[in-house]
Each structure stands twice: as structure tokens, then as C-alpha cells.
Amino acid sequence: MRSILLHVHDDDGLESRLQAALDLARAMEGHVTFLQAVSYDVIMPGDFFGGMGAEIIPVIREQAQTLREKLEQRMAGEDVRWDWLEESGWAETRLMEHAALSDVLVVSATEPQDMGGGPSRLAGDVAINARTPVLVVPRGVSGFDCSGPAVVGWDGSPEASRALRAAVPLLQKASSVVLATVTREGKGPKYDLPPTSGAEFLSRHDIAAEMVELSGTGGHPSELLGHAAMERGASVLVMGAYGQSRLLESMLGGVTHRMLADPPLPLLMAH
């Protein structure tokens, strides 16, 4: 997990995801690539001839350059290897392109406040479409302790299995690892692979994992997993992303959709 791709955008979550990326890079002796995707596709209501949009483009370009200079000055005093990529286009598209040769993507959990502050569509898009794990960082997080406890949300699904495999470098540094399974009243746990399979896989990487069952009668699985992680002082919650369609998740309140709405700690997700 040494090649770290960081989403750069001037919003109120930037400092948190930057700090998380730097802490991860230090722990893994890694390299951070700052990806600044600047879109010049400006649509102004009533601007039928494009004149107003053309006037805004230089402003967008200047703002992007100002942010780059600010972060480059900041990185001059950091002890982390890094480089900068500036590209035109939408962030989702450019992140997914560069994810192919990255070990992990770092994005924020929520949209910027000026866009409503709801669950980040960007985080959901890259979690589904990129074949790279995504570290989703809540706004306000001041750091990312890779040596802290880790909780893995386990349901035995392909998504959970991919997330577990992707998290191995991180779990090897964790002070403790818990495989948490949510059980449902009268139905028992539902999984393709039991927790013992996940624990056995981790043991082959010299990772000891405690298996814990959480009663589904105590609330929604997202709440139970979040509470279990916070109760144990976890630094990260590892989980599969969107085990069912994104539309169904939104309509039925799936675990991924609800967790992205208000994550209590950083999430490492894979689809």
C-alpha cells in the first residue's frame, strides 16, 4: 500500500484527507500522488453564446494554481515522497484512470458544504468502478493512526473478501483486528464464507483476528459496525462496498449508503 492517490480539491475535507494520506505514507514508507482534476465545462443558465462561461475559465485556472502553490509549499516541509498530477476533466474519471496503478485512493466521505454536505457521490463512484481500495476520510479527522485497532465488517461476500485482502498491509500494522459479523434474529448469519475463513486467511499473513458477532436486533448494521469500531477505539473500519445495486442501497438504506452518510471513522472500502 505504497502508491497513494489523493483527490485534490479546495473543499472543507481536504485537510483531513491530506493528513490521512500523509500518515498512511509514513507508516507504509509510501508515495503520495496529488491528483488535481480541473473541469472547465462551465454551464451558465441563460448564457446562450458561452460568453459568461468563457470569462469564468481564467478564474477557475487561477484558483487551481493558487491551491497547487499552497499545497506545494506545505509539502516542502513534509517528510513524505510525493508528486503532482494536474489534468482537465471530472475528478471521478481521472481518479479511476490513475487508480489502475495505485494501491489506494484517498477521498472524503461527504460532499463540500457548498454542495449540500451529503454523502459523497465521488466516494461511491470510485468505490464501485475503480478496481482499487478506497480510503474514505470523514471531515474533521486530524490524523490516521495505522497502528491503532482495526475492525473488519464481515459478511462473507465477494466485496468483503476483496476489502479484507486489500487491507492486509494495514491490518499487519494494527494493534488488534476484529472480524465483526452482524447476525439477524431468527435467520442466523448470512454469508458466502464464514468468519473463520476470513480469520484463517489473515493468519497466513501473521495477523491474529478476534471474531465477534453483533446482534442485528440492536439497530441497522451500519450503526452496529460503527458503534463496535468506536467502542474499540478503532482507527479504521474495513468493509465491502455496495454488495447490492447502488439504487437499491439508496432506496432500502443499505450499509454502504448509510455508512457514507455519516462515517464515525475512516473507512477502507472495496467493491
Q: From first to last of the 271 residues of the chain, give the pLDDT tens digit.
A: 999 999 999 999 999 999 999 999 999 999 999 999 998 665 445 454 455 556 778 888 899 999 999 999 999 999 999 999 999 999 999 999 999 999 999 999 987 655 655 677 899 889 888 889 999 999 999 999 999 999 999 999 999 999 999 999 999 999 999 999 998 765 555 568 999 999 999 999 999 999 999 988 878 889 999 999 999 999 999 999 875 544 444 433 478 888 888 899 999 999 8
Number of domains forming the structure of the chain: 2
Say how far apart CA 56 and CA 45 lie, in whole Å: 13
- The strand pairing partners of 4, in sequence order, are 32, 104
- Which residue, of 137, 162, 184, is where some domain finishes? 137
- Which residue, of 115, 137, 159, is where some domain finishes? 137
Same domain, 115 and 165: no
Q: Are 1 and 25 in contact (CB under 8 A)?
A: no
Same domain, 14 and 98: yes
Q: Which residue has the cell 465491502?
A: 240
Q: How far is CA 81 from CA 21, 26, 106, 132, 165, in A?
A: 11, 9, 16, 21, 25
Q: Which residue has the cell 476520510?
A: 137
Instruction: Provide the residue range defining the domain that includes 67.
Output: 3-137
CA-based R_g, the chain, Å: 19
The CATH number of the domain holding residue 76 is 3.40.50.620
The pTM for the full model equals 0.89
Instruction: Please write the tens of the pLDDT for every residue from 51-98.
Output: 555 677 888 889 999 999 999 999 999 999 999 999 999 999 999 999
